[in-house]
Structures are given as structure tokens and as C-alpha cells.
Amino acid sequence: MSRVVDHSEEVRGVYIPIEGSRIVLPNAAVAEVISYVTPKDIALESPEWFSGEIVWRDVTVPVISFDRALGNVPVDVPDGQRRIAIFNTLNGSTNLPFIGIITKSIPRLVRIKASNIIEGREDEQSSSLIHYNVILGGEEAIIPNLDYLEEMVAKVLA
């Protein structure tokens, strides 16, 4: 007997591996995952989490280390394993349409169902960058606060 799955109950997402955890975003938020390219420094006074900028599809994209933004020191990973996940920003700004996040390895697709998500405790929400800590299908993940991240990047670029 076959089981009918209601796909309206699930969202396709992407696990983006960072040091010690992973970020989870809806698949539609991720524009592309590219091989790692060393970002160009744009300012001497930029915060440690701001890695610089790359050119992707003729668009200049700021690149950040989410690990460093959370105050973690990322483990040195060979460039061949790292990637940059380019995601669409939410504010609709033509000045900041995309942001890149350095990943520890290749992101992977995941199906997200509300029934598979367990919200983390409130005291685990230790950073304004974290919207929620969750356990998704038995794996810990971070749902980032993309609005706050955009504000941080916009301040660096101002």
C-alpha cells in the first residue's frame, strides 16, 4: 500500500555546515553554492567576521564568516573543501542583493517538516544572529536572523 505525502507540509532546505554546527535556510533563500574563492579585502578597519568581497555573476557580493560573527574561531579547512553559499537578502535592496557565507564543506539539501523541528531553549539564543536554535531530524542547526546579518554587513559597507 503506497502512502500519499502532502508536500505542502514540507519545505526544501539547505544545511550549511559551519564550525561546530550548521545553518539551515529554505532552499529558495540560497541563490547558489560556489567553490571557494578568496575574497578581496575592501577596508583595513573591517570586523574579523567580514572576509571581503567576491564577484559572482558580475555582481559584487560581500562574504562573511558566520563562525567568526558568532565569536567562534573556525578550524582551518583546506580551500578545496570550503564553499561559499550565496544567499538572497530579504530587504530587496539593489545595493545589497546577496551575501556570501563561507562554509566548512559542501552544503546539503534537506526536507523540512514542522513535525521534525524541535525548538531549542530560549537561553540557548546567545546571539542576535541566531533567530532559533533547533533540532531538525535529530541534528542541531541554527536558523539565522538574516535581517540582523544584513544590517551588520550594510554597516561595514557604508
> Which burial class, exposed, middle or buried, applies to 63 when counting CB atoms under 10 A from its CB (0-12, 13-18, 19+)?
buried
Domain count, the chain: 1
E strand or H helix that includes residue 98: strand 98-103
111 in any annotated domain:
yes
User: Is 131 inside any structural domain?
Assistant: yes
Q: Please list the ranges in the chain whose pLDDT falls under 50.
A: 1-6, 123-125
Q: How far, rounded to the nearest angstrom, does the alpha carbon of residue 156 sit from its chain's CA centroid?
A: 18
- pLDDT at residue number 67: 87
- 103 located within any domain: yes
Give CA–CA dist 55/70, Å, rounded: 25
Check: CB of residue 104 under 8 Å from CB of residue 82: yes
Q: What angle do CA 68, 74, 76 make, to 5 degrees?
A: 140
Does residue 1 lie in a domain region?
A: no
Q: Considering the entire predicted model, what is its pTM? A: 0.84
Query: In terms of residue numbers, what domain contains 15?
Result: 7-157
**Residue 4 confidence (pLDDT):** 43
**Does 2 reside within a domain?**
no
pLDDT digits (tens, 9 = 90+) for 41-66: 887 688 999 999 999 999 999 999 99
Q: Determine the Cα–Cα distance for residues 21 and 141; give it in Å rounded to an integer.
A: 6
Grid coordinates representing 139?
541534528
Q: Is position 45 within any domain?
A: yes
- Tell me what pLDDT residue 126 has: 62
What pLDDT is attached to residue 78?
Answer: 66
CATH at 56: 2.40.50.180
φ, ψ of residue 84 to 5 degrees: the values are -125, 120
